[in-house]
Chains A and B, each alone.
Chain A
């Protein structure tokens, strides 16, 4: 199976809070895990990505935590801002394949 399960489906956070989105994958051959951000009416844009040889990657306010044994990874958005309100998708892909397998998305709303 090449599924990626994402939760929660929607998330409401106050400005300045921490947003946490979780994903779990089944295919142990996956070796690249990107997160995409999508605003209404726009295409997804790559936010941050990680490979399983590291347990954490941080870029500004965005951090990916990766647990290879549990086949889980998560996105943390620190100091969440109203401009972060968007739909976030996690994805996975395996070496030798160009297919991105996406989760169903999390709609994040950051209240001012």
Chain B
């Protein structure tokens, strides 16, 4: 039973480019969460999605960041016009229902040059 999958594992972008991070939840899970981890920091909640719906985006920066979880396919976290401060590890988690345990993926490490 495959766990949460994220790709790419490492992503390098130059300032001003777009970054697209993908997350495939565990089989049977329909709830997806994105967290960001800056160096030497804990994880910070960004957004919570269910299929085709954004439930809570209170942790998302107001500009340049967007997330989706389409009916088919993985969840996507998109960062437009990346800046050096976006360099971080981005983790996706999934759960089978609300208030259930969140299972984390291995993360995508984004480096902005």
CB distance A98 to B43 under 8 Å? no
A99 touching B56 in the complex, CB below 8 Å, given contacts A42-B106, A43-B91? yes
Q: Does B42 contact A (CB under 8 A)?
A: yes
Within 8 A of A (CB), among B74-113: 91, 93, 98-99, 101-107
Interface residues on A, range: 20 to 34
CB distance B91 to A95 under 8 Å? no
CB distance B42 to A104 under 8 Å? yes
CB distance B98 to A98 under 8 Å? yes
A91 contact set on B, CB distance < 8 A: 42
Interface residues on B, range: 20 to 34
Nearest CB on B from A102, distance (A):
4
A99 touching B45 in the complex, CB below 8 Å, given contacts A43-B107, A46-B101? yes
Q: Does A1 contact B (CB under 8 A)?
A: no
Within 8 A of A (CB), among B28-60: 31, 33, 35, 40-45, 48, 55-56, 58-59
B59 contact set on A, CB distance < 8 A: 99
CB distance A100 to B102 under 8 Å? yes
Q: Does A97 contact B (CB under 8 A)?
A: yes
Q: Does A80 contact B (CB under 8 A)?
A: no
B40 contact set on A, CB distance < 8 A: 104
- Report the Cα distance A101→B45, complex, angstroms: 7
Q: Does B4 contact A (CB under 8 A)?
A: yes
B106 contact set on A, CB distance < 8 A: 41-43
A100 contact set on B, CB distance < 8 A: 33, 35, 43, 45, 102
- CB-CB nearest in chain A for B46: A99
CB pairs A–B below 8 angstroms (28 shown): A4-B42, A36-B104, A41-B106, A42-B106, A43-B91, A43-B104, A43-B107, A44-B43, A44-B104, A45-B104, A89-B42, A89-B43, A91-B42, A95-B99, A98-B48, A98-B56, A99-B48, A99-B56, A99-B58, A99-B59, A100-B33, A100-B43, A100-B45, A101-B45, A102-B43, A102-B44, A104-B42, A105-B42
